[in-house]
Amino acid sequence: MVSKILVSACLMGHAVRYDGRAKPLIHPAIEGWMREGLLVTLCPEMSAGMPVPRPPAEIADAATGEDVLAGSGRVIELTGGDVTNEFLKAADNAVRLATANGCRYALLIDGSPSCGSGFIYDGSFSGSRRSGNGVTAAALRHAGIEVFSDREIDRLIARIDREA
């Protein structure tokens, strides 16, 4: 049997992003996984009580999600608010939900300070990207869950096919 997949709620068409929008990922595999009951949907930030919409946030000072988990990085809103604790709670919620539901994989929206797994923004709010993980992606990887970005769905499909 194929393991379940934790998926970013915004990829499933839920308007939960910081700007109040969704970023649906339309792919035949998503539809098939839905029919098979393999998807577990979560917006980590909303699970931590953050509102929609909310100010944009980035991991400050070119740090990564791993740095935030280690206590040496912070997540800061464009307005200057420190939302590190909320992002840590969001990551913990995601790991708990994934573990409780037997998820071996996660399909997350890239670029997010929470879900980014290929790239995140550098903390300057200038649109500059850098490679790295968001806080939730880092926590899921630390928990042994394989993380794939929305741009890597074909790689996830191939991974699942090897499992079946």
Quick one: tokens of 77?
Answer: 């809103």
Q: Which residues are CB-neighbours of 45 under 8 A, at least 6 positions away?
A: 16, 18, 54, 86, 87, 90, 114
Residue 62's region, left for phi above 0, alpha for psi from -120 to 50, else beta, is left
Cα separation, 62 vs 134, in Å, equals 12
Residue ranges per structural domain of the chain: 4-163
Cα separation, 88 vs 48, in Å, equals 9
| pLDDT of the residue at 42 | 98
State mean pLDDT over 110-125.
Answer: 96
| pLDDT of the residue at 1 | 66
Cα separation, 23 vs 124, in Å, equals 23
What's the predicted TM-score (pTM) here? 0.97
pLDDT > 70? residue 70 = yes
| pLDDT of the residue at 7 | 98
What number of CA atoms fall less than 13 Å from residue 49's CA on the CB side?
Answer: 6
| pLDDT of the residue at 163 | 81
State mean pLDDT over 92-117.
Answer: 97
State mean pLDDT over 14-39.
Answer: 96
